[in-house]
Structure 1
């Protein structure tokens, strides 16, 4: 039980929460919640009540506000509820500050006992005090008026209900109850993810006080624009969420727009198959607009510049065509921009001085961006222009006015010179400039950063890696594959977990590489690394993927595999390994793929391979094994007919 108290000079309000399962046959009469709940409550849930209760009609004190909420549990149907619903009743009374208290009214006590009788069970024994002829003002969860002894009839009389949240339930596909339209003091209504279906009842248009309507994932069946008609009557509405509702009709224009107070509009993940609705320009208070994933097409109209109060705009995963309108520069208050667009990016985007996130990835954007595009983006912290055909051409000595945490510029043209403006970025956490046409060496200053992830793969970066690499202490992921790097691999950063250096020209002995104990993935394939595999590799207890293929590694495989069992993938193919396969490999119980082909391994196959029960792919081709067929037969026989093992021999 939770109790909240709000005090003023004349009265004290108490809000008592009791969570109880309800009877399947009970009739829904109301849902209540405490004062000061957030706009999306997450704590208490109530849905149905037992048969109507009879309270004294001469009660003096009705609450000024009664609110409602539902549980946002991970499990919409708690296992200990017979009806899959929770009841949270809030008995609210206004108590005078006088010390004299009368006992409760007999009729109201009987009504509460009838209410208790309608419940299936009370798993927490919260109503154990509700019994017999005991004064009900002493019952747990009940507070009486000090002067009259009356209990507030708010459990039944919902005329003051302000918040109702029925989300995350299963109402069996019924329509939203029409009687909700009579709760004229409602300011918040949430029926999301509750298995309602059918049309939005027109009676909801009577909710003249409603400020928030949340209808995520609702199985709407509508004819034409019926879904919009009741909604358009809600002149006080400030938030409207209708994502993933199966809506199919979105008018391009409306003769009358009554939603003039609307600040948040989310109609994403629907099936509109429409052009951009021009009636949105009349929503001058709009600050959040999400039309993503709604099969919208055509050009983005210049009228979008009328929404100069926008802070967040999401148009991604649609089929918009044409350029970004220059009027987007009027949206100077926008903080997040995530769209699906084509054509060049207008210089006017540099006017969005409040922008913190610019995400235009995976589009058909083209052309060149210069310093002017970033002129006033002083608050920008995340930049994502990846997977476009953009070129970023700025002055060599340009110093941006922003400090970026995340830079995603893969597949943009940044080269051939390594971008010097990165030197001014002191707070980088995630950097991806892969496939960016860079044909330069990595400057020493580049490694003086705080990034945890760096991806510079698929360029033509040349030269060597500096010894200062080990001092990039935050680095956990380093991807430099498919470049022209050469020379020895220096000492690695202490917390490096993922290292991709494949398809370069690194050389030197494998045993001279200082591998960190945090490594989970090591890919040095397609280089010129020589020497033997050090036994230290078995100390990497977190290592899941090991790829040393296509090098010049010689000697025998280490026999220490019993010291680690986390390896999932091993590829030692195309080297100069000799000797036998060590029997300790049986300890790799999580191994799924083992590639040892094109070496000089010999001897018998160890029967211990049968203990690698998860092995799916085994490639032993082009070696010097003797009697390998008999060994394979025994291994296969022990694995049974359902074995998924694939053998490859060259």
Structure 2
């Protein structure tokens, strides 16, 4: 046998031997340590899974599979989430991260039995109320400890300083976790990644000194939203060559802290200084960070333009300068990015004050996302926007751009196009058909005027969101058309769709948001449409002419976080239909619904907006409405409700209550002022309420509109109205005055933001009923008219200097008009008519420069009307019914008692001359005195005798005397009041 054959056979036997040894070794693999297995089984005993709407799928697919593997008869090294050392059998990796959603009374200390553990990840689980076990500091082999978003509470144990091998420590998103000092960090010399985001470090005054000791070895440091204490004295800086990522989001940084940031590492590639209260110009220290690739400076108060030192940062890929106060010409600011124009991928300059027209962005050849919304950009698009073949998202919303759309042929990768709220016009360009990758098209609130055809939409197969509301679009789509896309959002409000529901909608099975309001639809709802609506999160059919009854909607998709239904201003009738329990907005106002409201509101835990006004609902308002603890707006006005106001003590989030124009009776509840601290609008107008105005209403410090008019309320106006502090503020910021409810509508959040629901209310303004929306918070009105209020106008009213409208008319108020009413300089409307007020109109009325509506008619006012541009421009009817008033605009120019009363002084002098002449004419003689005595005797006894003998005459006489006395008293009080006014002035 040859040597070659022998060698071949030897190699074959050797190979077979190796295979046998390998199989034998695998069959005899070391199993997990029993002590560690028992510890894990004990840990498992407290485990359950989060069964919430958000994680209903994850716990079924992941949690149950995970649990099924943790069995005592199975080697723990084969359990899901567990890895062991192949030589020793010790557990070295335990991964139970968020996919499993663990929750329960878990004994975490048993994990300390795993002494050879190297990797521990419990992130994203619900361990609320538990502390980090101190014994974790004994796990000396740990290299990675990840406990983020687990709900840990209490202080971080200093025993963690014993983990000398630790390279990764993540305790982020534990909002009730604190640290009084960070000295323990200085012992972790191997640490490379440190994340303490949302851990409360407000008491850790040594944070910078401790971080400074380990920073030379760190690669990634995240201290975002930690309430870092201010640093006034900067320690010696240990600069780093390894630190690449630094995140200080949402901390209040001092200048000393900023100096540390700008000098700690020259190799930073990712720096986050968002919402850190930076002011003034963009800090120059950033100019030395030439390695930066991502820079977040958004959400500060930075001013000026983009500085020149950005020309030194040539590798910049993402720049976030949004939500600042930056200004200047956009083109000039972009010139400072010339060094990085080939590398920038994402540029966000939104929500600033940049001006100018749109420049050519073609030189930014790598750009994928461009956000310029909420600036002051003007002019039209360039005819050719640029060859940006990578551009995926373009947002130019809320500017002042005008003219037609450009040719989008150079944007083949465009997926999101946001042009809402501009002044664009014209038609859709034919080249929009070439944007086959487009998923979101937002053109709403412009002035486009064209017909949208099947041919255009058929070329957009990937479309998910189509928003063209508030333009002049009309749709020319056949009833047989089947779209190539499955839309999630459709907004076509105020477009022309025809009188029928668009049948092509029946093929849209993924719809989450549908707005076809004010589209001229006039038919009843087809059955296929209600099958569609069961999956929706937002449905708006308002301001059409839809008629008929609504079906049972309670079978909707309960797995949605929220569902909103806005069907107002139609011809819908019948009883209130059933709605899903997760409904958050329900607007059925201005329809023909009737009947009583069901008393079954306890299950509606998400309901925030309930608007059922302007219908024919009757009966008592159900008591179970008090269980709506999330309710913010309650509109039940203009129905036929009766009975007392229901108890709403538990609805502490209420901002608006409108129960006006019903048939409610009883007293105004005192709990309104005691239990509803957030109330902004209280409208109980035109009911049958009686009793006093409770003084507890004065506790409503944010109240801006109070309407109790047209009831039977009596008593005095409370003298504590000065506590209504919102009426004492002069609001100049319109955006702050909007009464809105900022919660997300599920399914149509755009770039992380959602439009809030803006509240409205009907207000009697200058004698007319007007519905206010965005300007409702600016109105600041008090209306107590048409009641039986008595007493004086309280002086405390004059401190409400922010009042725009005050109506106290048609009551029984007496006394003088407070002189301090001239302090209400914001008043535009004042009505004090049909009371029993007397005295002068205060001269301070001349200070009411914004007054455009005044009515003081039918009182007992007297004296001259003060001179001012506003008062003399009023119609004379505003002053009639006051016999003692004179002066313009009345035709009666002179008042009794005024030294200048007579228009002709010669009449007075001639009368005086005639009287003197009568005295000297000799007519007063002895016979005159005799006649006077006889006349007195006859007259006195003739009258007094008759009064003594005839009782009916006596009663009539004294009644006349009392009337004369009252008349003289009023005249005397008026005289004294007028005299006091003249002395004061």
TM-score by length of 2: 0.46
What SS does the corresponding residue of 1:374 show, helix, strand or coil? helix
Structure 1 CA distance for aligned equivalents of residues 572 and 508 of structure 2? 25
Gaps of 5+ in 2: 1-136, 146-163, 171-178, 184-188, 728-781, 787-809, 811-985
Q: Does 1:325 align with 2:410?
A: no
Identify which of 394, 409, 433 aligns with 1:313: 394
Structure 1 CA distance for aligned equivalents of residues 258 and 461 of structure 2? 47
Partners of 1:241 and 1:265 within 8 A in 2: yes
1:240-293: CA deviations, max 9, x gaps? 333336252444796976532222222334444222222x21222211112233
Q: Which residue of 2 aligns with 1:524?
A: 612
What SS does the corresponding residue of 2:362 show, helix, strand or coil? helix
TM-superposed CA distance for 1:581, in Å, is 0.8
Higher CA-based Rg: 2
Q: Which residue of 2 aligns with 1:457?
A: 542
Identify which of 627, 630, 647 aligns with 1:561: 647
Q: How does 1:70-81 map to 2 (within 5 A)?
A: 70-73=222-225, 75=227, 77-78=228-229
- C-alpha spacing 1:513/1:305, structure 2 compared with 1 (3 Å): farther
Q: Which residue of 2 aligns with 1:104?
A: none
Structure 2 CA distance for aligned equivalents of residues 431 and 393 of structure 1? 19
Gaps of 5+ in 1: 7-11, 24-31, 54-61, 86-117, 120-154
Q: Does 1:467 align with 2:604?
A: no
Q: Does 1:158 align with 2:240?
A: yes
1:210-237: CA deviations, max 9, x gaps? 4334444677677xx8824x43444433
- C-alpha spacing 1:294/1:564, structure 2 compared with 1 (3 Å): closer
Partners of 1:525 and 1:550 within 8 A in 2: yes
Q: Which residue of 2 aligns with 1:366?
A: 449
TM-superposed CA distance for 1:586, in Å, is 3.8
Structure 1 CA distance for aligned equivalents of residues 699 and 510 of structure 2? 43
TM-score by length of 1: 0.67
- C-alpha spacing 1:345/1:590, structure 2 compared with 1 (3 Å): farther
Relative to its length, the structure with more helix (as a share) is 2
**Alignment RMSD:** 4.8
Partners of 1:159 and 1:185 within 8 A in 2: yes
What SS does the corresponding residue of 1:273 show, helix, strand or coil? strand
Structure 2 CA distance for aligned equivalents of residues 245 and 562 of structure 1? 43
Q: Does 1:300 align with 2:300?
A: no
Q: How does 1:629-640 map to 2 (within 5 A)?
A: 629=714, 632-633=715-716, 636=718
Q: Does 1:647 align with 2:734?
A: no
Identify which of 293, 296, 299 aligns with 1:211: 293
Identify which of 460, 470, 485 aligns with 1:402: 485
Structure 2 CA distance for aligned equivalents of residues 309 and 211 of structure 1? 18
- C-alpha spacing 1:401/1:180, structure 2 compared with 1 (3 Å): same
Structure 2 CA distance for aligned equivalents of residues 291 and 387 of structure 1? 22
Partners of 1:34 and 1:68 within 8 A in 2: no
Q: How does 1:231-630 map to 2 (within 5 A)?
A: 231-243=310-322, 244=324, 246-251=326-331, 259-278=341-360, 280-326=361-407, 328-340=408-420, 341=422, 342-343=424-425, 344-448=427-531, 449-461=534-546, 463-472=547-556, 474=558, 476-507=563-594, 509-510=595-596, 517-518=603-604, 520-529=608-617, 531-533=618-620, 535=622, 541-542=628-629, 545-553=633-641, 556-558=642-644, 561=647, 570-575=657-662, 580-581=665-666, 585-588=669-672, 589-590=674-675, 595=683, 597-599=685-687, 601=688, 605-606=690-691, 609-610=694-695, 614=699, 621-622=709-710, 625=712, 628-629=713-714
TM-superposed CA distance for 1:521, in Å, is 4.5
What SS does the corresponding residue of 2:718 show, helix, strand or coil? helix
Q: How does 1:171-250 map to 2 (within 5 A)?
A: 172=254, 185-194=267-276, 195=278, 198=281, 201=284, 204=287, 207=290, 209-216=291-298, 227-228=307-308, 230-243=309-322, 244=324, 246-250=326-330
TM-superposed CA distance for 1:557, in Å, is 0.5
Q: Which residue of 1 aligns with 2:221?
A: 69
Partners of 1:492 and 1:515 within 8 A in 2: no
TM-superposed CA distance for 1:309, in Å, is 0.6
TM-superposed CA distance for 1:361, in Å, is 2.9
What SS does the corresponding residue of 2:456 show, helix, strand or coil? helix
Q: How does 1:129-144 map to 2 (within 5 A)?
A: none
- C-alpha spacing 1:559/1:524, structure 2 compared with 1 (3 Å): closer
Structure 2 CA distance for aligned equivalents of residues 568 and 322 of structure 1? 41
TM-superposed CA distance for 1:464, in Å, is 1.0
Structure with the greater relative contact order (CA < 8 A, sep ≥ 6): 1 or 2? 1
